[in-house]
């Protein structure tokens, strides 16, 4: 039973990604073009992402709620920039129960409008503030060019929506949530993201400022992996979200919104994956350890399986899977779990039983270099240490790859050279929408976010003095 090899990343990165998502059973194409079915293995990864984020949200005082999927169309037109930004992507319901609706309903592309309407009803006084709510939901954006996880017509995400009494509080919330995202990405997913503010061109429709975490994929393209928006009073004014302050004066609230979606699964796949398949970070992997029993005869099987049971019990603190499938060779099983990116494989054969040892194989180090033999006694501690080592090693490797592919540029020619096939360009930048649009049109590279900068320098494009630096890269 031979599995066809994946296309190599070098040969065809896009096809490598598509095949890998399908063959590792993360997701599949749905009957509606542009939609996806998230399969149990992919959903288990999403659940672990949800847990890691949800714990962080609750630790920062947020609570979960659920808002409707359908929004009156008139709501979408209340905030001018918002409607212009989303108009091309809206799915609209015109009939229900066999009759034409008096007012068409929009399938939510995001929930600022419906949540703003409810906040206007719930918030009366400064005592009601802040409101810190998150929802786990699905949304629909009518995308034309889709790719599993990265860009689909319907996707799953969390969207936080908060309301505050002061501008300062809302700005602090926007930045706090960006930090929460970066902490999650770096420490749970081993994805070394860069945090920064988006340009006016790239910000969220209706926001005063948008911040994002940007990740470099294995082909050096950028992926916007999470966003946090300071909405100012735009939505509060559009939806009449007011409160009586301590002096009994009526004020508009200051609001924020922020989200991470199933697109982050794509970030994990493309940050860590290799030509053999997925490599999943231990803290999020649906299966952290796979145990493969190896035997030829029935008496060997009895001995080996007894030991497998003993080891599995000892490893009960981990997400462990025993691959006891009959009729498949150990080699086939190894390849299968490598494709699925399980961080650690344990092989137990008659010799291991005899010697009281376990054969361990790390997914992040292919071949012999990643194999070791360890005593069966105390295996829980050994496995815990090794999973931590793998987690740290994935982050180190991805960080080095990212840093090796970011280049300082001092001229437009240098930028073109870098974004064409080397990676990301970073340089001094004097903000200009027209020049930004020109760069995008000529190089297909976008301003990903501003970079930290001290002092001032000369803009690589205009030659003007500026105190801003920016990252430019082609993106997904």
Quote the pLDDT of residue 145.
86
Q: In the numeric block, which tokens belong to residue 107?
A: 């399938």
What is the rounded CA–CA span in Å between residue 131 and residue 61? 10
- Residue 20 CA: distances (Å) to CA of 35, 152, 281, 366: 17, 17, 16, 18
Query: Over the range 388-408, which residues count as b (16 or more CB within 10 Å of their CB) and which as e?
Result: eebbeebbebbeebbeeebbe
What is the rounded CA–CA span in Å between residue 264 and residue 223? 9
Specify the CATH class of 13-272 in words.
alpha beta
Low-confidence ranges of the chain (pLDDT < 50): 1-2
The CATH 3.30.930.10 domain(s) of the chain lie at 13-272
Q: Which residues, 6 or more positions from 247, have their beta carbon under 8 angstroms from its beta carbon? A: none
User: Which tens digits make up the pLDDT trace of 306-346?
Assistant: 999 999 999 999 999 999 999 999 999 999 999 999 999 99
Which residue matches tokens 């860009």?
Answer: 151
Query: 344-348 and 289-293: which strand pairing?
Result: parallel
What is the rounded CA–CA span in Å between residue 448 and residue 470? 7
* Chain mean position to CA 304: 40
Q: Which CATH number fits domain 289-387: 3.40.50.1580, 3.40.50.300, 3.20.20.70, 3.40.50.800?
A: 3.40.50.800
Which residue matches tokens 């659920």?
Answer: 66
H or E element: which one contains 163? strand 154-164
Nearest to 436 by CA among 413, 462, 458: 462
Angle in degrees, CA 455, 459, 463, rounded to 5:
120
Which residue matches tokens 């309301």?
Answer: 163
What is the rounded CA–CA span in Å between residue 476 and residue 471? 15
4 prior amide bond cis, ω within 30: no
What is the rounded CA–CA span in Å between residue 395 and residue 215? 12
What is the rounded CA–CA span in Å between residue 226 and residue 174? 12
What is the rounded CA–CA span in Å between residue 473 and residue 450? 12
Sign, CA torsion 391/395/397/398: positive
Nearest to 66 by CA among 5, 24, 108, 28: 108
Nearest to 211 by CA among 170, 163, 263, 174: 174
* Chain mean position to CA 195: 14
The CATH 3.30.110.30 domain(s) of the chain lie at 406-473
What DSSP assignment string belongs to 21-74?
HHHTTSEEE-SSTT-EEEPHHHHHHHHHHHHHHHHHHHHTT-EE----SEEEHH
* pTM of this structure: 0.96
Quote the pLDDT of residue 79.
74
Q: Looking at the DSSP assignment, which residues form a beta bridge with residue 260?
A: 158
| CATH architecture assigned to 406-473 | 2-Layer Sandwich (3.30)
Quote the pLDDT of residue 143.
86
Quote the pLDDT of residue 207.
94
- Residue 476 CA: distances (Å) to CA of 147, 150, 221, 259, 447: 9, 7, 7, 17, 13
User: Which tens digits make up the pLDDT trace of 253-310?
Assistant: 999 999 999 999 999 999 999 999 999 999 999 999 999 999 999 999 999 999 999 9
- Residue 387 CA: distances (Å) to CA of 53, 110, 384: 20, 37, 5
């Amino acid at each position: 039973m031979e599995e066809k090899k994946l296309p190599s990343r070098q040969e065809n990165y896009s096809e490598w990604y598509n095949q890998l998502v399908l063959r590792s059973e993360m997701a599949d194409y749905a009957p509606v073009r542009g939609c996806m079915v998230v399969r149990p293995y992919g959903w288990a990864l999403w659940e672990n992402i949800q847990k890691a984020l949800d714990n962080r949200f609750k630790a920062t005082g947020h609570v979960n709620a659920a808002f409707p999927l359908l929004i009156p169309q008139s709501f979408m037109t209340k905030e001018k920039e918002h409607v212009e930004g989303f108009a091309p992507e809206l799915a609209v319901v015109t009939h229900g129960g066999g009759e034409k609706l008096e007012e068409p309903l929009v399938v939510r592309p995001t929930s600022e409008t419906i949540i703003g309407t409810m906040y206007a009803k719930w918030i009366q006084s400064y005592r009601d503030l802040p409101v810190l709510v998150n929802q786990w939901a699905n949304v629909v954006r009518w995308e034309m060019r889709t790719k599993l996880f990265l860009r689909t017509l319907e996707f799953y995400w969390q969207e936080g929506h908060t309301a505050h009494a002061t501008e300062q509080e809302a700005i602090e919330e926007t930045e706090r949530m960006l930090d929460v995202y970066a902490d999650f990405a770096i420490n749970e997913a081993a994805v070394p993201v860069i945090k920064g503010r988006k340009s006016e061109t790239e910000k969220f429709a209706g926001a005063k400022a948008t911040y994002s975490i940007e990740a470099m994929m294995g082909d050096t393209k950028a992926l916007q992996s999470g966003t946090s928006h300071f909405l100012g009073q735009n939505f509060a004014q559009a939806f009449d979200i007011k409160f009586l302050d301590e002096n009994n004066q009526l004020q508009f609230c200051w609001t924020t919104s922020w989200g991470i979606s199933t697109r982050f699964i794509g970030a994990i796949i493309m940050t860590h994956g290799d030509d053999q398949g997925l490599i999943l970070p231990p803290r999020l992997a649906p299966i952290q350890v796979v145990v493969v029993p190896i035997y030829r005869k029935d008496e060997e099987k009895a001995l080996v399986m007894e030991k497998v049971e003993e080891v599995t019990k000892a490893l009960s603190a981990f997400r462990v899977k025993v691959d006891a499938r009959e009729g498949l060779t150990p080699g086939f099983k190894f390849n299968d779990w490598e494709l699925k990116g399980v961080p650690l494989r344990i092989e137990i054969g008659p010799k291991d039983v005899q010697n009281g040892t376990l054969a361990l194989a790390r997914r992040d180090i292919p071949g012999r270099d990643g194999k070791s033999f360890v005593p069966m006694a105390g295996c829980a501690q050994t496995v815990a240490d090794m999973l931590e080592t793998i987690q740290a090693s994935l982050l180190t490797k991805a960080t080095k790859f990212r840093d090796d592919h970011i280049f300082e540029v001092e001229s437009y020619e240098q930028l073109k050279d870098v974004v064409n096939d080397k990676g990301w360009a970073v340089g001094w930048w004097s903000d200009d929408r027209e020049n930004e649009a020109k760069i995008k049109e000529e190089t297909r590279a976008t301003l990903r976010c501003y970079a930290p900068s001290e002092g001032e320098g000369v803009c690589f494009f205009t030659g003007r003095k500026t105190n801003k630096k920016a990252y430019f890269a082609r993106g997904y």
